[in-house]
Amino acid sequence: MPIYEYVCRGCAHRFEMLVLPQVSPMCPECQGRDLEQQISMFAVSSEGTKAAALKDGRQRSASIRRDKDHAAMEYEKNHEH
Ligand SMILES: [Zn+2]
């Protein structure tokens, strides 16, 4: 079920609400219905983007490790004698 984040235009209260069909969301603070829907975290973090982020993170740490190895090699080369 979709959970949306809203900001009330009446009192600037921010809240998350489970949206049911045929029920318009209402601000829990002032009972106002003039709401601005925000982009939900649930909508953004789909399985696809999560997997892509994981993959990206792995690649990044691998390249950092390579840089470290390279630096260690350079260090040894410069301190052999
Ligand atoms: Zn409100």
Dihedral angle sign, alpha carbons of residues 60, 62, 63, 67: positive
Report how far ligand 1's centroid is from the alpha carbon of 23 (Å).
17
Q: Clarify whether residues 3 and 35 are in a common domain.
A: yes
Report how far ligand 1's centroid is from the alpha carbon of 55 (Å).
41
pLDDT tens for the chain, residues 1 to 81: 678 899 999 999 999 988 888 888 899 999 999 999 987 555 555 556 666 666 766 666 666 667 777 777 777 888 776
Report how far ligand 1's centroid is from the alpha carbon of 35 (Å).
8
The helix/strand/coil state of 7 is: strand
Q: Clarify whether residues 50 and 18 are in a common domain.
A: no
Q: Clarify whether residues 37 and 61 are in a common domain.
A: no
CB contact at 8 A, 46 and 70: no
Q: Clarify whether residues 2 and 26 are in a common domain.
A: yes
17 Cβ contact list (under 8 Å, min separation 6): 3, 4, 5, 6, 25
**Structural domain of residue 18, as residue ranges?**
1-44
